[in-house]
Amino acid sequence: MELTRIYINMRVIKSLLLSLILVTGVFSVEAEKLVILHSNDTHSQIDPNDKNQGGVLRRKAVIDSVRGANENVLLVDAGDAVQGTLFFYLYKGEVEYSLLEKLGYDVAILGNHDFDNGSEMLAEKLKDSKINWLSTNYELRGGPLDGIFMPYVIKEYGGKKIALMGLEVRPEGLISNGNYNGVEYIDAVKAANATAWHLKHNEKVDMVIALTHLGYSGKPGPKDVDLAAESEDVDIIIGGHSHTYLDPADKSKTVLKNAVGKDVLVTQAGKQGTRLGEITIDLDTMTPVFNVIEIDSRLDKNQDADVKAFIDSYRPGIDSLYNLRVARSAVALENNQPALNNLLSDFVAAQGSKLAGKKVDMAIMNKGSVRRSLPKGDVTEGVIIDMQPFNNYLEVLEIKGSDLIDAFNVMSFYRGGDSVSSELDITMDRDTRKCTSILLNGKPIDPDRIYTVATIDYLANGGDNMEPLTRGTKIAHSENVVNQDLLNYLRTEFKKKKINPDNNPRMHY
């Protein structure tokens, strides 16, 4: 039998108990509070991931439970709700943006992958959204996204005014050219400081919260740690983009000092929806406490029937690809280990040689494109697309050795190395994060020689800060997206043998 929950206004209870205190001096009253639940970088992980963590139905169970136990709940997302599984590959964001609505998100911002199908399609997906979409540091007037976003929103709980703003990442060098039409970037820290000052001094809000998709720390900036250090009026930063899990127990990373010595709470909940951040704010003292809720199998018994039916309506297309075997793997290939990256870079080298009509000297891939591990045993078409979900294309460049050296230094500095083909052996310095040795077939790269390099168009066009590759000349381009070329490669090369790449790092310290 379904039980009916009765919700009683906590302000009325508080008022009654305060009266009893005045009369008897016996009773104490719990302060009214606001609970903020936050997600980031869920990346189309509608179902649990390959480690059986996360999943939208499980997240919905947590959200419903928290809402049932608290009067004031605010649900927010810090960007990149899309891209990374077949749901986005097949349905272009329709499922993910609809689920944000069905889960009752109040406020959301954009991540860089929200632009993967272009700003025009993004505008089409969001035009009827009931969510408060925020963008404080994008100038959108006159573009496809004009009128959909607001610079901030103010909400009131327990007589206190809480303001939220949205700070998005710099598109240049990260989002493919042509995909962010109508977007002009404004420095995130400058936009945040100007907006926060206005909110505190003109709007008279009690707290300013910055939803960000900047990343926690590192270069290029600005990042959340920079925003915290250079701001005066931002009280809480709820971040995304770097897929960082910030442990609530580690105050050295989650409680930072701002420009005037005040504490700023900085949070981020990892990736793929495996955790949900929870910030509880005492509305009397405006003091926040940060916690994290694990999204795992213990929540499976509390599935929302309507949300499940919505997801299941898209399953025929999804399941057809997950059931189509492509090859077999002798071992499990983890996406954070060299073997899978070696497999991919060697594939790019082989396919690039076919495209160019001659053997390429080397291949370069980015680790960030690898979105899941491969299982031991059957490897299906759906799994391969999940592992390489992006609409990238293989390209072959002719490029000078000195520019290649610059490119390898970028790979070392920003990402601690990337994926390169078997001809290369690159040593990096851990302190300077630059390359100390770059060997091609045992010989150093000649700065004056022209090399033939296979890569993907995203990197060739300067994505992931790979500006040095833009100095090359493109000589060949695949007509297929990378995952389709990869599927054809696996079907051919591993028709009679199992996948079993070497696990030795090719860019190493």
For residue 15, pLDDT over 90 is answered with no
Report d(CA 141, CA 21) in Å as an integer. Answer: 55
Instruction: List all residues 6 or more positions away from 208 whose beta carbon is below 8 Å from its beta carbon.
Output: 163, 164, 165, 196, 199, 200, 233, 234, 235, 236
Report d(CA 463, CA 176) in Å as an integer. Answer: 7
Q: Reduce the DSSP state of residue 487 to 3 states and report it.
A: helix
Report d(CA 161, CA 181) in Å as an integer. Answer: 35
Could you state, in order of their start, the residue ranges of all structural domains in the chain? 10-315, 325-508
User: What pTM value is reported for the model?
Assistant: 0.85
Q: Classify each residue of 349-379 as buried b or exposed e, where b means 16 or more C-beta atoms within 10 Å of its C-beta.
A: bbbbbbbbeeebbbbbbbbebbbbbbeeeeb
Do residues 112 and 241 make contact, with C-beta atoms less than 8 angstroms apart?
yes
CATH code, 10-315:
3.60.21.10
Q: Model confidence over 436-495: pLDDT tens digits?
A: 999 999 999 999 999 999 999 999 999 888 999 999 999 999 999 999 999 999 999 999
Report d(CA 211, CA 224) in Å as an integer. Answer: 10
Strands 263-267, 236-238: parallel, antiparallel or unpaired by DSSP? parallel
Q: Model confidence over 71-108: pLDDT tens digits?
A: 999 999 999 999 999 999 999 999 999 999 999 999 99
Q: Model confidence over 281-331: pLDDT tens digits?
A: 999 999 999 999 999 999 999 999 999 999 999 999 999 999 999 999 999
Cβ atoms within 10 Å, residue 144 = 20
Q: What is 325-508's CATH topology?
A: 5'-nucleotidase;  domain 2 (3.90.780)
Q: Which of 278, 154, 136 lies closest to 214, judged by CA?
A: 136
Question: What is the amino acid identity at position 227?
Answer: L
% of the chain beyond a pLDDT of 70? 94
Instruction: List all residues 6 or more positions away from 85 whose beta carbon is below 8 Å from its beta carbon.
Output: 43, 44, 45, 46, 47, 371, 386, 389
Given this model, what pLDDT does residue 30 score?
A: 60
Report d(CA 349, CA 128) in Å as an integer. Answer: 44
Give kind and range of the element (H or E) at residue 29.
Answer: none
For residue 18, pLDDT over 60 is answered with no
Q: Which of 414, 408, 366, 386 lies closest to 483, judged by CA?
A: 386
Q: Reduce the DSSP state of residue 24 to 3 states and report it.
A: helix
Range list of β-strands (E), 28-182:
33-39, 73-77, 107-108, 132-133, 138-139, 152-157, 160-167
Instruction: List all residues 6 or more positions away from 69 whose beta carbon is below 8 Å from its beta carbon.
Output: none
Q: Which of 4, 76, 55 lies closest to 299, judged by CA?
A: 55
For residue 9, pLDDT over 50 is answered with no
For residue 295, what is the DSSP state?
-
For residue 43, what is the DSSP state?
T
For residue 179, pLDDT over 60 is answered with yes
Write down how long the chain is.
Answer: 509
Given this model, what pLDDT does residue 174 score?
A: 86
Do residues 412 and 404 make contact, with C-beta atoms less than 8 angstroms apart?
no
Given this model, what pLDDT does residue 221 score?
A: 83
For residue 210, pLDDT over 60 is answered with yes
